[in-house]
Copies of this chain bind each other. A is one copy, B any other.
Amino acid sequence: MIKVLIFNEFVHEQTEEKVKAVYPEGIHIALKKALECDDIVIKTATVENCAEVITDEEIAQTDVCIWWGHMAHHKVPDEVADRVVKAVHEGMGIIFLHSSHFSKPFKKLMGTPCALTWRENDDRELVWVCDPSHPITQGIGRFIKLDMEETYGEPFSIPEPDKLLFIGHYEGGEVFRAGCCFKRGNGNIFYFQPGHESYPTYYNKDVIRVIKNAIYWANPIYRNPITCPHVKKPLEDEE
């Protein structure tokens, strides 16, 4: 059983009618309903309750975290962000969705500005598979077609990914590294660009398939704090 914790800031869905119409219960609940299955159990947190929910105890129980944020990045307490980052270093998997490229945990894990260009014109996006043999791209065809998405554009100021899996094509002209794998400490990290709040992206079965694949991929096989031990004697003397 993989224990997943979905953080969604849950602000747009309560303050904008357009977004509420798409995700009446919030993005986190839409994702939970789409992803939960026999071997994946899901808890959720929002920016309102994250300080209470994302505790050391809770995060220690979490195998994979999914993160969606946009306008309230700054409202996530630093302690919560640091807790998440530390858990990733120890081995927790994490999936950052869409505008969480600017979330505190993502920026702390990348060590770069994580900036991009952005445009909102209801562009069609084609999310192309660069490697059809990776665990995360299984079950996806040549590309995922999204009738409308927010346009993200290069340059995306991230470290060179360990593995680039998807590139987004927007009809208005931009391209974007839409699916990127990283490892930081013991933890696996996947960034996935689709999922603007005003489009029904998280009802797309291919998008859900990718996220579900990423949960299995990021699920840790090893989890341990990273220490900096003082070794007292040369190996020869130890034996």
Contacts and interface: CB of A to CB of B under 8 A. Distances in A.
A183 B160 contact: yes
B153 A128 contact: yes
A111 B113 contact: no
A228 interface: yes
Nearest to A222: B133
Given A169-B169, A175-B175, A221-B138, A132 B186 contact: yes
Instruction: Assign chain A's interface to a size class.
Output: 35 or more
A155 B132 contact: yes
Interface string A135-177: 1001000110000000101111101101110011111111101
A85 B234 CA distance: 36
Interface in A72-123: 85, 89, 91, 102, 108-113, 115-119, 121, 123
B154 A123 contact: no
B135 A221 contact: yes
A113 B228 CA distance: 9
B174 A169 contact: yes
A227 B115 contact: yes
B234 A184 contact: no
Nearest to A130: B154
A42 interface: no
Interface of A: 85, 89, 91, 102, 108-113, 115-119, 121, 123, 126, 128-135, 138, 142-143, 151, 153-157, 159-160, 162-164, 167-175, 177, 182-187, 220-224, 226-237
